[in-house]
Amino acid sequence: MHTKPIHNTPTYFPPPIRPSPPVQQPSPSIPPTKPRAISISTPTTPPVALPIPPAIELDDSMADYHDYQLLFMSQKSETNQPIVLSIVDGVIPDDFPSGTYYLTGPGVMSDDHGSMVHPLDGHGYLRAFTFDNVIRNVKYMAKYIKTEAHVEEHDPKTNKWKFTHRGPFSVLKGGKKVGNTKVMKNVANTSVLKWGEKLLCMWEGGEPYEIQEGTLDTIGQYNMMDGADLKDHDEIKGGGDVWEVAAHLLKPILYGVFKMPPRRLLSHYKVDSRRNRLLTVSCNAEDMLLPRSNFTFTEYDSNFNEIQKQNFRIPDHLMIHDWAFTDTHYIVFANRIKLDVLGSMAAVYGMSPMITALRVNPSKSTSPIYLIPRFPNNDKGKERDWRVPLEAPSQLWLLHVGNAFEVQHPHGNLDIQIQAVACSYQWFNFSKMFGYDWQKRKLDPSIMNVKGGSELLPHLVKVSIKLDSDYNCQDCDVKPMKKWKKYSSDFPVTNPTFSGKKNKYLYAATTLGSRKTLPCFPFDTVVKLDLESDSAQTWTAGRRRFIGEPIFVPKGHQEDDGYLLVVEYAVSMKRCYLVILDPKRIGADNALVARIEIPKHLNFPLGFHGFWAAN
């Protein structure tokens, strides 16, 4: 059963001057247009704007608005048994590895009582695409993660939903839930991980949920933060005692009244392919309101045995969603935040999202970067105090990291490079991400497509750090990737076997800006960047089609030897496809290897982060 899409045109989208002529839609099993590829090489003359592919037509604002709503349309159906999917274009290649592509994200954002929550508060919906390279078919399953909030808010007999948890990013119908302290709604909707014998769905505010691999049934919360209490060996310089007292006063309110877990596990983890380790980060709940940040970094072996755990306290009020690592360091980008007193009062009384208690803090023009020693016992002779951040000479809010690596020179100097996506403090807004309008209970795509230059919106950047033999900073710089600085992009990925190593290629979801009122988001294109030759190639989904995060499936030793998986959302047809791309052929007409169709009754909304688990 689908929820009904919104059909009322908002006043802030003007009607078109002339109605568009009717377009005859092709059969749902046949793609309406052939994807077009674009190839870019380093020019000898100043670059010019890319032409819009002729297969992509400009749509009027009404079509753009409705397409955007359909991208986030709730899906209330689940599968009881695996479903064999149909291949509607191309074939699954003989050498495609056996394994499962897991994708999580919000599945229900609107209940049956008029409430609409932020996509970040939507209940986690796990999708699994299992490839069998013997018979070359793909089986599909999709189920909700049965979190505590899910069990409370969903009636399995009637399949009806009634939201009772506010969630940190949302307001329930009419903002009438005054006194509702159910804020921390663990929806397990942000990322998924298969490590050792565990399949975990993760959220930013608490423990992950463990899932049964074959059935996708929910086992329950998996404790990854037990014993992660912070010690006092990393005291804050100048006023640590004051903030410790403040933390003790906040804990009974946050833990007791608002039922927040003492610690929250970040949804972004890292895999050290060279050491075959899983790396995670957790932090204290009360640090969201204090000018200090406590982090616990934990590393696990391939059997999920804990190898090492380190606690660090950073004297800064910051929020991180993603982070990086190298052979010698954990890297934390200080996205600065501050407490909003008026916003806090409105949030406590349920009249605005709880997250409005926090605001970005653009008080400094630099971007602080903390280099935290990964193996401090090996670096006792190093003189640099890690509590003092490096200051990159630009102000950027870091969203996602594609890769990071370091190069050790014979004389002891160290070069570190991080490839990431960042946006401006002027654009980033906690409560309005994805266009959530809690006052009108609608999604406003204009919020994600603001005017003012690509430097405001999420875009690809390269962070370069040079350290001397004592880890003192000689240079720190953040620059947009010049080949792709004009285009909004996110979800940067590499071949996972090159994680933490020097890489040549970076892939990301992007857009060429051809939609009239959706020039920046949602994404409709995959870009492959060659970081050595400064060139870029693209594959575009087609007219009225969007894409999510690309995932690299390795199959050989070369860096681009494998396949890319990306979900294509054909919103005008209310269909989803899993697309297989050949990374070596991106930029050519034959980059698409296969397009696999999900049945229409199982069409699902935009996902967040996925994981490829090889058999």
- What are the binding residues? 233, 321, 400, 609
Q: Which amino acid is at 51?
A: P
Q: Which residues contact 297 (CB under 8 A, 6 or more apart)?
A: 279, 280, 281, 309, 310, 312, 330, 372, 374
Residue positions in the annotated binding site for Fe cation? 233, 321, 400, 609
Tell me the Ramachandran region of residue 188: left when phi exceeds 0, alpha when psi lies from -120 to 50, beta otherwise.
left
Q: How many residues does the chain have?
A: 615
* Two tokens, residue 162: 């009634």
CA 297 distance to own-chain centroid: 20
Tell me: cis bond preceding 208? Omega within 30 of 0 counts. no
DSSP secondary structure string for all residues of 230-267: --TTSPPTTTHHHHHHHHHHHHIIIIIIS---SEEE-S
Neighbours of 520 (CB within 10 A): 22
State whether residue 287 is helix, strand or coil.
helix
Q: Cα separations (Å) of 349 from 164, 166, 179, 614? A: 15, 11, 6, 48
606 half-sphere exposure, CB direction, 13 A CA radius: 22
Q: Which amino acid is at 549?
A: E
**Distance of alpha carbon 21 from alpha carbon 34, whole angstroms:** 21
